[in-house]
Every structure is written in structure tokens, then in C-alpha cells.
Amino acid sequence: MQLCINSQIPCAIGGAGGNSIFIDTEGSFVAKRAAQIAAASSRNLDLLDKSTSPGNRMTTDKLMQGIQYCRVHSPMELIAMVRMLDGIVQAHPKTKLIVVDSIAFLFRSNFSDVNVRTKLVATLGRQLTAVARKYDIAVVVMNQMSTKIESHNDQRMRQGSERAPGMVHPALGETWASVCTHRIRLYNHGNGQRSARLFKSPSIQEQCVKFQIVSGGISDVGNTLPQAVSISGDEDGELGPDLEENIFHWEPTDLL
């Protein structure tokens, strides 16, 4: 959600000045939380560029309108959505970001045939890569972590691998790992301490940065910009129609 908001930062202050597409496989997109991040980002942008006229301000409503949302419930719906991305991006040329959260959720339990799953995942990866290159946009795909207990023989054969016996490693195996040009792993160290480690990139050396999650979204550790934002909603996180309707929704029936 933070990336979807950040993709709309105006070009005049170093942003992409675009819109985003959020493909949700888990039901993890919470409109109330997105509105909190949008409200905080709007305030921060006002501080960064005080010369912006009132009509050009990146308000909470405007930032929410820049997110195009689709909820998919099955692997076939996800495949259909990805196939349609080429036409969708053509129809929405301001698109600068596509987020899939997550790629693993629908494939970890819906396929008994690993070979079929592997082929479908590889195909999705190629299609997403093609869209990214054709339109020069960022595609961010969330994966999940799983635990694999290895035998003694597996451990000996694994020399030089980044995996440790019995420790978590990315789901979907090496097939998906080879698809991604950049790989970032997120860590939660407890006590509000988090970090992100870049460990695969064709152009940037491996590095690790610390960050924190606050009421206004993700920020650098020690960030002093205003973050506390209150957005009204019910106990389930539902917004009123004014903000909820600002998100452009696709339904699976629109895709198939």
C-alpha cells in the first residue's frame, strides 16, 4: 500500500507521478489503512513542496483514486488478470507500478502436481516481466516464506546455498527466484525494529537498511515528519462511502 501511494509522488519532487495497480490474492488490502497512509503522505508532500497550488495538491482523495484494485480468489483468476495487464496499462498510461500480494498464496495449496504449478508460476513471471519492460514500469511481487527441514545428505549438498537447515526460505522454489531481477527480504526483529536486505540485483550491490512502520506508513528510523493520522472507520476497518469509493475496483467477473 505504501508503494502504491509513493508511486504518485509528483515528478517535480523526484517521484514517478503515476498511478498503481494492486492485485490482491490474500484479501490483505485494507482501505482504512491505505487512507491513513495517503493522509500522512499528503501532509508530508505539503511540507516538501509548499509552492503547490490548492488545485494541484495531492490530497487523500486524489491519492486513493490513483490505486486500481483487483481481488482475485483463484489461480485461474490471477492468470486471467495478468494476461489482461497489457491492455489495462494501455488504457491507463499513467500506471507506474503493479503490485501482486502475494504470488505464493494461491499456488501453495491449490496444486497437487508440482510440475504444473512450476510451469504456471514461471509463465506468470515471464508475463509480468514482459509488461514491466514494455511499459517501463515497476512490478513488485510479494512472496511468502516457508520452513523446510533438510536431511543430513541435503545439508551436505547445500554447501554455498543461502538456506540453513530447518530455517525459513522463500516459497515457490528456485523457479520463481530466477524470474526476479531484484530480490529483497524483509525482517521483523521485534520491538518495532525491521530491516530490508537486498541480496539480488543486476545493478546494485547487496545492502541492508532499517525501517519502521508507524501510523502514517513506512518511514526511516527516527523520521520526524508528522505521522499520526486518524481516519474514521468501523471496528472491521471499513471506510465510509466517501473514501472507499475512491479506490477503483475490478471484480473477477470483469476478467473472465
Q: Picking from 21-35, 172-186, 218-232, which range would have the lowest pLDDT averaged per residue?
A: 218-232
Counting Cβ atoms within 10 Å, is residue 176 exposed (0-12), middle (13-18) or buried (19+)? buried
- For residues 153-181, average pLDDT: 67
**Does residue 110 lie within any of the structural domains?**
yes
CATH of residue 132:
3.40.50.300
Residue 28 lies in a domain: yes
In whole numbers, what is the pLDDT of the chain averaged over residues? 83
Asked whether residue 156 carries a pLDDT value surpassing 90, the answer given is no
Q: Looking at the domain assignment, is residue 136 inside a domain? A: yes
Query: 92 with 68: CB under 8 angstroms?
Result: yes
Convert the pLDDT of each residue in 129-138 to its tens digit. 999 999 999 9
Q: Does 233 reside within a domain?
A: yes
- Segments forming the whole domain that contains residue 22: 2-144+167-176+227-254
**Which pLDDT score is estimated for 155?**
53
In this prediction, residue 234 carries a pLDDT of: 45
Of 105-119, 197-211, 218-232, the one with minimum mean pLDDT is 218-232
Question: Cα–Cα distance between 205 and 247 in angstroms, integer?
Answer: 36
pLDDT at 113: 83
Total number of domains constituting the chain: 1
Q: Mind listing the pLDDT tens digit for each residue in 28-86?
A: 999 999 999 999 999 999 988 877 777 788 999 999 999 999 999 999 999 999 999 99
Asked whether the predicted pLDDT for residue 87 surpasses 60, the reply is: yes
pLDDT higher than 60, residue 10: yes
Distance CA 249, CA 245 (A): 9
Question: Is residue 209 a contact partner of residue 203, using CB atoms and an 8 Å limit?
Answer: no
